[in-house]
Amino acid sequence: MAASLVLVVFSSLSGTLRNIRSENRINWRVTAILSAVVAPAALAGVFASYYFGKTVVEVAFALLLLALAYPTARGRSEREGGGSRIPLPLVLLAGVAIGVLAGLLGVGGGALLVPLMVLGFGSSTKTAASNSLAIIFFTGIVGAVGYVATGYGYLSISLPPLIVGALIGAWVGAFARNFIPEKVVRWGFAVLTVVVALRILAGTTGMF
């Protein structure tokens, strides 16, 4: 999980740098609001990993992904007047929960951040994806530092090649997104969340 968060830092940094010049640029206001609650909450997830089993958390995470898949696919673009649908206090509370999950499971939280911004701030899926990379960058730093500080400072020799791949992949993905229709991005992301959720559930039941 510590190594995963290190990879998240590099991949999100690469994507964020590319998004600065993309057509769907980062909304720094939304990014700052969520980063302020998600990143610190990741530390709580790091420490919670010492006391709680991951199975229950993973199942809850997977079920939440499944619940968010359809509204994410049906979300409207900013040009269509997506509008805020979830009150800000609930958005912030959800941000805290995502941060805890990020630290607990060693993930960036983008699978939940994107639908949260679509449903909470009325962001388009493309803009939410740009925002999520910046938020994940800050969250990954906090979570990785937390794991290192608690004694997980040793990282595998296989990590550098993965970092290089993450840097290249995130850059290519952020660039390619500019040429993909908004609707395709929405439905593609929804399908991805379902696949991830099913993979998690299969793992917890021992199928994989």
Residue 29 has pLDDT above 50, yes or no: yes
152 CB-side CA count, 13 A: 18
User: Tens of pLDDT along 61-72?
Assistant: 788 778 777 777
Alpha-carbon distance of 72 to 125, in angstroms, equals 8
Residue 53 has pLDDT above 70, yes or no: no
Average pLDDT over residues 191-206: 83
Alpha-carbon distance of 138 to 35, in angstroms, equals 7
SS3 content of the chain, % helix, strand, coil (to 5): 75, 0, 25
pLDDT number for residue 151: 64
For a pLDDT cut of 90, what percent of the chain falls above it? 10
Which is more confident, 40 or 174? 40
DSSP string covering 60-78: HHHHHHHHHHHHHHHPPPG
- Which position has the token pair 């800000």? 88
For the whole model, what pTM was predicted? 0.74
Q: Give CA angle at 158 (156, 164), nearest 5°.
A: 125
Which is more confident, 153 or 45? 45
- Among 6-20, 57-71, 85-99, 146-160, where is mean pLDDT lowest? 146-160
> Where would I find the H helices in 24-158?
28-48, 54-74, 88-105, 110-120, 125-149
